[in-house]
Structure 1
Amino acid sequence: MRLLTTFLTLTSLSLFSSTHAFPNTPFNVSGRWIHDSTGANFTYAGANWPGAADVMIPEGLQYQSIANIVSKIKSLGMNVVRLTFAIEMIDDVLDHGGDVKVTDALNKALGTTNGTKVWGQIVKNNPSFGAGTTRLQVFDAVAAELNKQGIYVHLDNHMSRGYWCCSSNDGNSWFGDTYFDTAKWKRGVAYMAQHGKAWPNLISIGLRNEFRQPDTVGSSLPYDWPTWYTHMTSLSTSVNAANPDILIFLSGLNYDTTLAPIPMADNLGNGQKFTLSSFPYAHKLVLELHNYQNSATSCSSMESGMWNGGFKAIDASAVNRMPVVLTEFGFSQSGSDYTSVYASCIRSLMQKWKTGWTVWVLSGSYYIRSGTQDYEESWGLFNHQWTDWRSQGAINALKGLVTASVAE
C-alpha cells in the first residue's frame, strides 16, 4: 500500500509539474483579467525590443548575442517581450521574391561598407547565423531563445514601412496613408499571426502601433472612430482565424493615448458602438494604451486622464469590461528621470490597477535611426553596447514594479 501511495503521489506531482510548466498556453480573457491555460492570472511585465526600423530585424545583435540579451531581460524577472515588426518585411516575402537575407537588408540600410562590418559583428555574436540567414529567421531565433528562457512574445505591428516611428508625416499614420496600404497591412499582420504558430511562447499580437492624425498629404480616409472600427474589427477577425490561440490587442487614436469610447460602448460617431459581446472571440480581445506624459507635475491628473482614456475598461461598471495593457511608457535613462512624478506615477498606477505593461525601450542603440547609424538611445535600458544597464537606479525601480506585477 505504501508503494502504491508513493507511486500515486509521484505521478500526481509529475502531472502537476507538466500541467503548470511554461508556457501554459493558450491564454484567454475573462472580464478584466488575462488567464493562462491553468486559469491563473497573468500580468504583462516586460519591455519593448524594436525590430521594425530600416533593417527590420531586432536591434542590438551587433553588440550581443540573442542569448545574452534575453538573459539580461530574464534577470529583471520580466515575463514578456513586445517584439515589433514592419509590414514591409512581409511585403518582401509575398511580393518581392521571398524573405530578404540579413546581409542584403544591412547593406541596403547602412551601405555596403558598414553593412558588411555590422554583419560580421552580428555573426561573431550569433555564430548560428550564416550567409543565407533571413530577417524572419532572426525573429524565429529571438522567439526561440525567449521560449528557452521562459519569456513570452507579444508581436506588435509597429509600422508599414520599415523606419523609425512615429510622426504625422511619416506616411504610416493612418489607413491609406502614403506607406499604409490597408490591404497589405491586414495581410501582413495575419501572416505574422500564422507564422507565430510555430512559436510556443507567442501569446498575443498588437494589430497596429499608434494611430495618429495624418498631415495634409496623408490619407484621404476620415480620421475617426468609425473608420477605426471598420478596419480593426475586420483584421481582428482575420487574425483570430489565422491563429485562434493568441490574444489580440486593440490600440487607440492620438498615438494610442485614447480608447475613450470603448469601455462604456459610447457612440463611435455614426450610431455604431463597440460591443464586446458581439465578437465570437471576445475572450481573446485586449485593449492597449501608451503614455508619455513626461512633464507631468500631478499624478492625480495623470490618473484621471489615463482612466478616462481607456483604463476604466477594467472597472466593474464598464459595458465592455476588458484587460488593458500599457504597452508603451518610458523616459530617459541617463539621469534621474526615474524619480520624476511621471515615472513614479506610472509605477504606482500599474500596481494600483493591477494591470500589465511593457516599458519603452530595451535598445541602447539602433543599427540606424532617422538616417543616423549606430544611433545612441538615451531611453534604452541597455547602454550603447548592450553590455549592461544604462542606469542601475532606474533598473532597481523597474525591478520593484516587475516584482509587484508578476505577483498579482
Structure 2
Amino acid sequence: MHLLSLLLCVATLPSLLFAFPNVPFKTSKRWIVDSTGANFTYIGVNWPGAADVMIPEGLQYASIASIVSKVKSLKMNHVRLTFAIEMIDDIKDNGGDVTIQKAFTKALGNKGDAVYQQVIKNNPQFNASTTRLQVFDAVAAELSKQGVYVHLDNHMSKGAWCCSTNDGNAWFGDKYFNADKWKRGLQFMADHVSGPSKSWTSMVSIGLRNEFRKPDTAGSSQAYNWQTWYTQMVAAADLVNAANPNILIFLSGLDFDTTLSPIPGAGDLGGGKKFQKSSFKYADKLVLELHNYQNSATSCDSMKSGLYNNGFKAQDASAVNQMPVVLTEFGYSQTDTSFSGVYASCLRKIIPEWDAGWTIWVLSGSYYIRSGTQDFEESWGLLNHQWSDWRSTNAINGLKQMIDASLK
C-alpha cells in the first residue's frame, strides 16, 4: 500500500519531479536542438501584450486556459509573447508594477473598470492586487501546463501599438527608446523568467527587439546603421546571457526586421565591425529572426530570392555565420481569400521546405485598445472578435497545411 500511495503521489505531482520537456535549447549550425539533441522547429503564433494596457490581449473575452487550448489544438508548439519595457521602467523607477485594474483605467479611461471586471470574471485567479507582470506569469504557467513553449519578445519601449517610424520607439535614442533602460528591461525579464516563481518552465528564448526602423525625426541620438545595431545588440545579448544562460537570444534586423543581409556572410558593418558568431562565448544560443509582409506579391520566386538574400542564407553550410533563422512575423487578412493568394501560398511552401521556424501574426481577434480605438477589431486575427472560435475555417485549414508540412 505504501508503494501504491507513492505512485499516486508521483502521478499527481509531475511538475515537482520533472523539468519541462527537453529544455534548455541550443543551436547547432543551422538547427535549433533540444536537450536530447533532437531538432526543434518553431511553429507558433504571436500573442500581443505590449500595447497600451501592457498585459496579454483577449482576457476580457476568454480565460487564459481556453486561449492556450486553442493554440494547442492547432498542434502549434510555441507562442511569441510580446511585452513593453515601460512595464519594467514602472517596476524600477515608479514605485513598482501597476495593478491590472489601474492599467485598464489608465489606458481605457472610464470604460477601463468594466473591461477589468470582464477580465476577472473570465480569469477569477486575478483580483484588485494582481499586477501586469503577474498576468504574464500566469500566461507562461498555462502555456507550460499545456505543453507549449514560450518565446518572449520585447516589442516596444512605451506600451502602444507597433509599429511606425514616428511612434518614438523606432531606434536607439528615439523619443521613448532609452537604450540603457531597454537593456535593463531585457536583463530584468531574463532574470525574472528563471526566478523562484517557476511559472516560466517552458521559456526557451527571447527576442531582443522587434522591428528596428529609421525614425522620421532627427531626434535619435544614434546613427541608423549596422554599426550602431552591432554595438547595442551585442551589449544587450551579453547582459541577457549573463542573467540567463539557458535561453536562446533572437537577433532582429533593420528596416522593420526585413533584412539581416550583412550577417550571414560576416559583411562589413562599418567602423571595422563584422558580426562573427564564433567570437561569442554563447554562440550556440544565437538565432536570427526576420519578418515578411509582402502581401501584394505576385511571384513566389521573387519572394523566395528576397527572403534568402535578406537573411535565410545563414542556414546554408556556405555561410560564414551559419545560424538558424526564424520567420517570427508574417500574416494576412482572415476575412477574405488571402490565405490562397501568392503571398500566403508561397510562405506555406518555402518555409517548411527550408525547415525554418515561424510564428504567424496574429492570435488576437481584437485588442483592448489599438491606436486610440477601444475594443479594436483585428481582421488578421486567427480568432474571432470574442476569442471564442477561429475567424475563418478556410484560412485555418490553409494554416494547418503549413503546420503539418513543418512538423514533417
TM range (shorter): over 0.9
| Equivalent residue number for residue 259 of structure 1 | 260
| Equivalent residue number for residue 139 of structure 1 | 136
Q: Is the CA contact 1:23–1:200 (under 8 Å) kept in the aligned structure 2?
A: no
After superposition, give the CA deviation of every residue in 1:123-173 in whole Å (9 maximum; x if it has no partner): 110011111000000000000000000000000000000000000000000
Displacement of 1:404: 2.0
| Equivalent residue number for residue 196 of structure 1 | 193
List, as ranges, runs of 4+ consecutive aligned residues in structure 1 with deviation greater than 4 Å. Answer: 18-22
Displacement of 1:196: 1.0
Q: Structure 1 vs Structure 2: percent identity of aligned residues? A: 70
| Aligned partner of 1:120 among 92, 117, 120 | 117
After superposition, give the CA deviation of every residue in 1:25-54 in whole Å (9 maximum; x if it has no partner): 110000000000011100000000000000
Return closer, same or farther for 1:142/1:20 CA change in 2, 3 Å cut-off: closer
Q: Is the CA contact 1:42–1:406 (under 8 Å) kept in the aligned structure 2?
A: no
| Equivalent residue number for residue 78 of structure 1 | 76
Which amino acid is 2:137 matched to? D
Counterpart secondary structure, 1:38: coil
Counterpart secondary structure, 1:211: coil
Q: Is the CA contact 1:171–1:218 (under 8 Å) kept in the aligned structure 2?
A: no
Counterpart secondary structure, 1:138: helix
| Equivalent residue number for residue 398 of structure 1 | 399
Matches within 5 A, 1:97-246: 97-111=95-109, 113-197=110-194, 198=198, 199-246=200-247
* Partners of 2:235 and 2:123 in 1: CA distance: 39
After superposition, give the CA deviation of every residue in 1:255-305 in whole Å (9 maximum; x if it has no partner): 000000000001112221100000000000000000000000000000001
* Partners of 2:36 and 2:19 in 1: CA distance: 10
Counterpart secondary structure, 1:249: strand
| Equivalent residue number for residue 13 of structure 1 | none
Counterpart secondary structure, 1:229: helix
Displacement of 1:97: 0.5
| Equivalent residue number for residue 14 of structure 1 | none
Displacement of 1:349: 1.1
* Partners of 1:290 and 1:210 in 2: CA distance: 8
| Equivalent residue number for residue 311 of structure 1 | 312
After superposition, give the CA deviation of every residue in 1:342-364 in whole Å (9 maximum; x if it has no partner): 00011111111000000000000
* Partners of 1:242 and 1:269 in 2: CA distance: 29
After superposition, give the CA deviation of every residue in 1:345-389 in whole Å (9 maximum; x if it has no partner): 111111110000000000000000000000000000000000000
Displacement of 1:402: 1.3
Q: Which is worse superposed, 262-271 or 36-45?
A: 262-271
Displacement of 1:21: 7.7
Q: Is the CA contact 1:210–1:252 (under 8 Å) kept in the aligned structure 2?
A: yes
* Partners of 1:373 and 1:272 in 2: CA distance: 45
Q: Is the CA contact 2:81–2:151 (under 8 Å) kept in the aligned structure 1?
A: yes
* Partners of 1:20 and 1:171 in 2: CA distance: 44
* Partners of 1:280 and 1:386 in 2: CA distance: 43
| Equivalent residue number for residue 359 of structure 1 | 360
Query: How many residue pairs align between the two structures?
Result: 389
Return closer, same or farther for 1:21/1:345 CA change in 2, 3 Å cut-off: farther
* Partners of 1:406 and 1:58 in 2: CA distance: 27
* Partners of 2:381 and 2:291 in 1: CA distance: 17
Q: Is the CA contact 1:46–1:359 (under 8 Å) kept in the aligned structure 2?
A: yes
Under a length normalisation based on structure 1, what TM-score does the superposition of the two structures give? 0.94
